[in-house]
A and B are shown apart, each in its own frame.
Chain A
Amino acid sequence: MRYAPFYGCMISLKYPQFEAAVRKTAPPLGMELVDLEGFTCCPDPIYFKAGDKLVWLSIAARNLCIAEEAGLDLVTMCSGCTATLSEARHLLEEDPGLKEEVNRRLAKVGKEYRGEVSVRHIVTVLRDDVGLDRVAASVTRPLENLVAAIHYGCHLLKPSKVMRVDDPNQPTILEDLVRAIGATPVQHGENLLCCGKACMSDEIPAEMTRDILDQIESVNADCMALICPTCFDEFDLGQLRLSKRFDRKFHIPILYYFQLLGLAQGLGARDVGLQFHKIKTDPVLEKLGVAAA
């Protein structure tokens, strides 16, 4: 099981604890992550794409070429990178004229896109290649008694004909992965609501995140488990903003799935970078009997 990991800007440069968690939890799962040289920003599916779709597509195709040249499938850890690279692949397959135009551009940097590479969010690799049984077998410290509220975010699932990950209306992939490490996933009323990060308003995203966090509080979850660094930003740092805005305390620990997996595989809190979180994860660690970060 060899893959080319694509960590992206948000994870490499803002939340490297997620990169560390992925790198440290992959070997016990039998995954070999082969670092390739030359990747750039995916590029960003929100603001960069809003500037010029054709340039966005060309830069995305250049990243795909690098994996193609190495003969490895791309594995993404960020839902934004997953969206850009999966959609780029889809557009280039759907429209031969567009592929020709993009290749005309790529020729200027000595590349050609052929369309031989897959783009996969790493959670699908865990489910489909590694298998839930092997994920469970890698666990040395089951996260018993931990109740995790799942936050899917948008770009892992939609558009489903492009992403091909799970049923976008009733997904189970993250619940299954949380169960595999001994924790209990809990459903709540807003588990499929967007985090709102891309909406250019102060008010709307604040109300959206507040409503999601209120739901999580109402089902007595110990933490939120997610798989997207942009959603993480909105909920971790975001809770500090929310506490000010609504004049009440928001304090739900937010963990990236691979940090939870790391704890379950016996890693310490600092190994997966929990000391860098704005919202303290101590209540989660206490419940698991792990020393604080």
Chain B
Amino acid sequence: MAKLNFEFRKKLDAIIDGDHHNYCYQCGACVADCPAARYSTDFNPRKIMLQALLGQEDVLIGGDSVIWLCTNCYTCYERCPQDVRPIEVIIALKNLTTEARRSPEVLDQIRGSVRETGRTVAWSALVDRRRQELGLEKIKPAPVDEIQKLLDLT
């Protein structure tokens, strides 16, 4: 019989909407219209919620976890009769993965870009040329000092 890992569940509960996994009664409404589940036999939001309830830390926030296949479409949030918000629980699991330094590299790149420029898309001379051609003003710098403060707060 599986042993519950309450400590991991508590960590999940502490993240925004992570506590909603507790409402799951495993009906499977989230699976029916899930595009990732339709295209991949590995991905199943009902199963991910069960693993969260069991506190299966290694499976969920390991480097090869299936949570990264989620398309972020919010259909599960829409369908769930229990307000579990499976997508939000999955994002909370991604936060825990990041905390454990096991997230894909792209997350660091995006965070770095926001820290340095306040934006996720890098400025380029090409975009200024295109903007000029379209009659638009040049891009103004964003207030990165304020963003850095918000990024560094604990």
Contacts and interface: CB of A to CB of B under 8 A. Distances in A.
Interface of A: 9-10, 12-14, 16-17, 19-20, 23, 37-41, 43-55, 57-59, 62, 83, 91, 98, 105-106, 108-109, 154-155, 158-160, 168, 193-194, 196-201, 203-205, 207-208, 270-271, 273, 276
Given A19-B136, A43-B120, A48-B110, A14 B72 contact: no
A109 B150 contact: yes
Contacts of A91: 16-17
User: Chain A at the B interface: mostly helix, strand, loop or mixed?
Assistant: helix
Given A58-B153, A98-B16, A199-B70, A43 B114 contact: yes
Given A20-B136, A40-B142, A105 B94 contact: no
Given A40-B118, A276-B130, A208 B78 contact: no
17 contacts: A9-B119, A13-B123, A19-B134, A40-B118, A41-B142, A53-B16, A53-B92, A106-B150, A108-B153, A154-B72, A154-B74, A155-B74, A158-B75, A158-B78, A194-B35, A196-B35, A199-B35
B8 interface: no
B94 A50 contact: yes
B139 interface: yes
A203 B39 CA distance: 9
Interface in B109-154: 110-111, 114, 118-124, 127, 130-131, 133-136, 139-140, 142-143, 146-147, 149-151, 153
Contacts of A47: 106-107, 110, 120
Given A12-B139, A204-B40, A17 B15 contact: no
Given A9-B121, A16-B130, A194-B35, A50 B40 contact: no
Contacts, number: 169
A50 to B, nearest CB: 4
Interface of B: 15-17, 35-36, 39-40, 68-75, 77-78, 85, 91-92, 94-95, 98, 103-104, 106-107, 110-111, 114, 118-124, 127, 130-131, 133-136, 139-140, 142-143, 146-147, 149-151, 153
A196 B71 contact: yes
A158 B36 CA distance: 16
A86 B135 CA distance: 30
A204 B69 contact: yes
A12 B68 CA distance: 27
B91 A53 contact: yes
A196 B95 CA distance: 21
Contacts of B92: 53
A49 B106 CA distance: 12
A158 B74 contact: yes
Given A158-B74, A204-B71, 12 more contacts: A12-B127, A38-B143, A40-B142, A48-B111, A50-B98, A53-B15, A53-B91, A58-B153, A194-B35, A198-B70, A200-B104, A201-B69
A51 B153 contact: no
